[in-house]
Amino acid sequence: MANFIFAPMSKKVRVRFAPSPTGGLHLGGVRTVLYNYLFAKHQGGDFILRIEDTDQTRFVEGAEQYIFDCLNWCGLIPDESPVHSGAYGPYRQSERKEIYRQYAEQLVKQGNAYYAFDTPEELEQMRTAYKTEQNPSPQYDIHVREKMKNSLTLPADELERLLDEEARHVIRIKMPQGETVSFTDMIRGEISNETSLVDDKVLLKADGMPTYHLAVVVDDYLMKITHAFRGEEWLPSAPVHVLLWKYLFGLENMPQWAHLPLILGPTGKLSKRDGAKYGFPVFAMNWTDPKTNELTEGFREKGFLPEAFINLLALLGWNEGSEQELFTKEELIQKFSIDRVHKGGARFDFEKAKWFNHEWMKKLDAGRLMPDVKKVLNKKGIETNDDTVLEKVIGLVKDRCTLLPDFYEQAGFFFKTPEQWDVEAVKPKWNDDKKNFFIEYAGQLSQIINWELVELENAFKSLAAEKNIKPGELQLPLRIMLVGGKFGPPVFQIAEMLGQNETILRINKALELF
């Protein structure tokens, strides 16, 4: 058996996010990443990404790359990971398989775990044989283990024979009777569990791969993790993990834990079903299930900015203690503290999420938005070859956009003549006087040498006064002529950006329809 190394816990803060590559990253997963990242950076520590792929039956092709892509989009780049190698690799559990068995065997040797040779059929028989009204779902626990086929019940010679034959078996933790296991949660305070109420979890599976329970403890120790943040759904497993720390490495080396509250949807824990029913995304990016080829829309594809996404996620369960709502990543790093994370679940509000995106749309400069806007317009067949013009257009319309796809409606007409006009909005108050006004105005525009907003507006107002028509009655028709509908920035800014020929062309084209 390999020699064990007992390394003292590193003083430097080290946190980890350890997802299983079984599907897309949803809101709760990315929030766990974010809180880990913010805590580490606030403390000047390291953020580690570890892939927990020990359950090969649930492995999904493409899921690991999806995780990396999500974190890259969010700007939450790990200091160490399978693609950012460090001193504590490998960072995929499937590549650490041989490490875990020695610790499982050590637990058996110490009397803290045991070999179990029960077949799947025997386990099913157990669940039926010991089922009662009071205990409808019997578990492999302190009450049942003595009746099963394991190293606690088998004669020594038979046990030796089975091990020599390499008979199929698992290793289970031997939960002690009548003990209370306690730990201090950074969010919830003191938490205690009775060991008699917890079943003997499998630590090492028959294929030699560890379960989460063993792997998370061994890896956190060997990677010198100082703080572990995970969802509150892991609270029932906490006593098993505390005991494993005690048995293997000593409680003084155990990381500080924080169990994060759930993110709630309209009817409870936020789920994929909620997203499908209510029309909002629950995944960070688009995720296509390879088994069903079913596409689930993500926040990125919906048109959210990463700055807004991590901002809204940070406030789903944490507050800084002030009225401030908009935080840059740098501000979040500076202000984040785990003691201000709520104990109760935070309810996700899609309208509030859109509000964050709208505010960030206004906050960011046009140059930052340009690559995203280009993609939106190009997807709709609009080519934008002049970045200077595009940057000006973005600056004009970004305050009117909530999600990135809104730029097509709000900015597309600057680069492409409308294909239809909202004629019905003009018709009720349209007459020959207005028609003649625009015929004459188009003629005046063709004579303007200095094509600037002030010149265009002055000519418009002067002609309106001459024709004794209120300018307000003429601006809506002009807007619809240039844009196609009742939207967009100030109309003379639009005309200035369109240029002389295009402005006149659109006026004349719309006059034919009006």
The predicted-structure confidence for 266-286, as pLDDT tens digits, reads as follows 888 888 888 888 889 999 999
CA distance 155 to 160: 9
Band of pLDDT at residue 301, cut at 50, 70 and 90: very high
pLDDT at position 276 is: 83
Task: Read off the pLDDT of each residue in 363-374 and give the average, rounded to a whole number.
Answer: 97
Task: Read off the pLDDT of each residue in 235-246 and give the average, rounded to a whole number.
Answer: 96
Task: Read off the pLDDT of each residue in 20-25 and give the average, rounded to a whole number.
Answer: 92
pLDDT at position 14 is: 98
Measured between alpha carbons, how far is residue 502 from residues 74, 443, 495 in Å?
Answer: 40, 13, 8
Task: Read off the pLDDT of each residue in 260-270 and give the average, rounded to a whole number.
Answer: 90
> b/e map of 413-443 (b: 16 or more CB within 10 Å)?
bbbeebeebbeeebeeeeeeebeebbeebbe
pLDDT at position 11 is: 77
Of the residues 272, 302, 329, 335, only one is catalytic, namely 272
Strand order in the sheet with 113-116: 113-116, 170-173, 202-204
CA distance 80 to 10: 16
The 8-class DSSP code of residue 50 comes to: -
Residues 441-461: tens digit of each pLDDT: 999 999 999 999 999 999 999
Contact partners, residue 383, CB within 8 Å, separation at least 6: 377, 415
pLDDT at position 5 is: 40
Contact partners, residue 410, CB within 8 Å, separation at least 6: 397, 400, 401, 487, 488
Measured between alpha carbons, how far is residue 70 from residues 30, 35, 272 in Å?
Answer: 8, 15, 17
pLDDT at position 54 is: 84
Calculate the average pLDDT of the chain.
Answer: 94
Band of pLDDT at residue 35, cut at 50, 70 and 90: very high
Band of pLDDT at residue 8, cut at 50, 70 and 90: very low
pLDDT at position 134 is: 80
Identify whether 272 is a catalytic site residue.
yes
Q: Which phi and psi angles does 15 have, rounded to 5°?
A: -120, 165
Task: Read off the pLDDT of each residue in 135-158 and give the average, rounded to a whole number.
Answer: 94
Residues 124-134: tens digit of each pLDDT: 999 999 888 88
pLDDT at position 4 is: 41
CA distance 187 to 235: 12
Task: Decide: helix, strand or coil at residue 191.
Answer: strand
pLDDT at position 56 is: 76
